[in-house]
Amino acid sequence: MYILFDIGGTKMRIAASRNGSEILDSKIVPTPKDFWEGMQTIKKISYDLIKGEKIDSAAGGIAGPLNKEKTMLVNSPNLPGWVEKPLVGELEHILASSVYIENDTAMVGLGEAIHGAGAKYSIVAYVTVSTGVGGVRIVDEHIDRSAAGFEIGHHIINFSSEAKCPSCEAGGHLEAYVSGAALEGYFEKKPYEITDPSVWEETAKILAYGLNNVAVFWSPEIIVLGGAMIVGNPAIPMDRIKYYFEETCKIFAENPVIEKASLGDVGGLYGAMEYLRQNLI
Ligand SMILES: [Zn+2]
């Protein structure tokens, strides 16, 4: 049996797969703030899911950048209690199997590239706009190589701006304009409470500029957009994102298509399953 997990800032999902090609039961619980409590929660749910069978291996994503060896979080605004804790070492101990972790956005992107909106394409950019902004480049069904991961939310969209990035606090980053945390900061209400269409129009325009930058650097065939700010209600309108993108991105003979993510909340589990298959099965 294989254990798949997706550890987010507020919730975590844990699932089992018998053969690495299908997901059996899954369970969603709040992510404990305390790392050791988190480990005990994952242990209990995992052993409940496998019903007495042996765990062959486990893989999953976690919210934040990882160290080079991919064994622990080095930073995470949402999971400060998990930073620099021995995540892989402890999971290997409690699950008595090998364990692989990746950045959660990279896992969702891998799932979308193989089983979701990007399935027909070889070069996929996955961009998530949620509390923060993240992204990953997938090439031929693999997470593209990188020295330190992908952090498109922190590219500079306005160099003369004082707007502070909600997660890294530098000025003028894309995340300071289009993320849920940024909108909540400006308007002092939750993004889903913002009903003024002009706010969503402006957010679509700025996001399209950001996607222009993603397109010219990564040259994808498709940009898959996910995250609560894209799939929620209200959301940044897809048709306006596409409109402004076409107005902005004029250099290619053919622009990448832009599509909404299609796997919903389980993209990360599909990505983890593929990651295991590629590394192990
Ligand atoms: Zn930033």
Distance from Cα 207 to the centre of ligand 1, integer Å: 15
Assess whether 251 and 150 both reside in one domain.
Answer: yes
The SS3 call for residue 184 is helix
Give the total residue count for the chain.
281
| Nearest to 211, CA basis, from 170, 257, 176 | 257
Alpha carbon of 73 to ligand 1 centroid (Å): 17
How far does the centroid of ligand 1 lie from the alpha carbon of residue 277, in Å?
33
Arithmetic mean of pLDDT, 124-147? 96
Instruction: Give yes or no for residue 149 having a pLDDT over 90.
Output: no
Cα separation, 33 vs 9, whole angstroms: 9
% residues pLDDT > 90 (the chain): 90
Split at pLDDT 50, 70, 90, the class of 65 is confident
Q: Are residues 245 and 143 in the same domain?
A: yes
Q: What is the mean pLDDT of residues 146-167?
A: 91
Largest CA distance in the chain: 59
Mean pLDDT of the 47-53 span: 95
CA 155 to chain centre: 16
Q: How far is the CA of 104 from the centre of ligand 1 (A)?
A: 17
**Highest-pLDDT range among 70-84, 158-172, 243-257:** 243-257
| Distance from residue 218's CA to the centre of ligand 1 (Å) | 19
Same domain? For 125 and 257 the reply is yes
50-68: average pLDDT = 94
What is the structure's pLDDT at 281?
62
Same domain, 167 and 79: no
Does residue 66 register a pLDDT over 70? yes
Q: Residue 4: which pLDDT band, with cuts at 50, 70 and 90?
A: very high
Residue 189 C-alpha to ligand 1 middle, in angstroms?
21
State the distance from the centre of ligand 1 to the C-alpha of 166, rounded, in angstroms: 7
Domain of 78, in residue numbers: 2-103
Confidence of residue 167 (pLDDT cuts 50, 70, 90): confident
SS3 151: coil
- From residue 180, how far is each of 75, 134, 191, 205 by CA, in Å? 19, 12, 6, 15
C-alpha closest to that of 145 among 136, 134, 157, 132? 136
Residue range 132-146: average pLDDT?
Answer: 96
d(CA 210, ligand 1 centre) in Å: 13
**Distance, CA 156 to ligand 1 centroid (Å)?**
8
Residues 96 and 215 in one domain: no
Question: What is the 241 CA–ligand 1 centroid distance (Å)?
Answer: 21
208: left (phi over 0), alpha (psi -120 to 50) or beta: alpha
How sure is the predictor about 75, in pLDDT bands with cuts at 50, 70 and 90? confident
Which residue from 186, 136, 140 is spatially nearest to 161, judged by alpha carbons? Answer: 186
For residues 196 and 126, membership in a common domain is answered with yes
H helices present in 30-103, as ranges: 35-50, 87-95
Residue 112 lies in a domain: no
Instruction: Compute, in angstroms, the gap from residue 159 CA to the centroid of ligand 1.
Output: 12
Binned at pLDDT 50, 70 and 90, residue 115 comes out as very high
- Ligand 1 centre distance from Cα of residue 262 (Å): 27
- Taking the centre of ligand 1 as the mean of its atom positions, its distance from the CA of residue 17, in whole angstroms, is 36
End position of a domain, from candidates 53, 81, 103: 103
* Rg of the chain in Å (alpha carbons): 19
Give pLDDT tens digits for 194-229. 999 999 999 999 999 999 999 999 999 999 999 999
For residue 246, tell me if it sits in a domain. yes
Residue 279 has pLDDT above 90, yes or no: no
Please check whether residue 132 is in contact with residue 75, taking contact to mean a CB–CB distance below 8 angstroms.
no
For position 17, which CATH number holds?
Answer: 3.30.420.40
Task: For the chain, give the mean pLDDT.
Answer: 95
In this prediction, residue 126 carries a pLDDT of 98
Domain identity same for 189 and 129:
yes
The C-alpha atoms of residue 24 and residue 241 are separated, in whole angstroms, by 36
Question: 199 and 248, same structural domain?
Answer: yes
Give the distance (Å) from ligand 1 centre to CA of residue 152: 9
- Euclidean distance between CA atoms 23 and 70, whole angstroms: 24
Q: How far is the CA of 88 from the centre of ligand 1 (A)?
A: 27
What integer pLDDT is reported at residue 189 of this predicted model?
A: 96
* Number of domains comprising the chain: 2
Q: Which of 69, 103, 137 is the last residue of a domain?
A: 103
Dist. CA 170 → ligand 1 center (Å): 6
Q: In the structure encoding, which two tokens stand for residue 267, read together? A: 């993209």
Instruction: Using the predicted structure, report yes or no on whether residue 177 has a pLDDT greater than 90.
Output: yes
Q: Which residues contact 238 (CB under 8 A, 6 or more apart)?
A: 225, 230, 258, 260
The structure tokens listed for 59 are: 């893989």
Query: How far away, in angstroms, is 75 Cα from ligand 1 center?
Result: 13
CA of 125 to the centre of ligand 1 (A): 19
262/162 Cα distance (integer angstroms): 35
233 alpha carbon – ligand 1 mean position (Å) = 25
The 3-state DSSP class for residue 132 equals coil
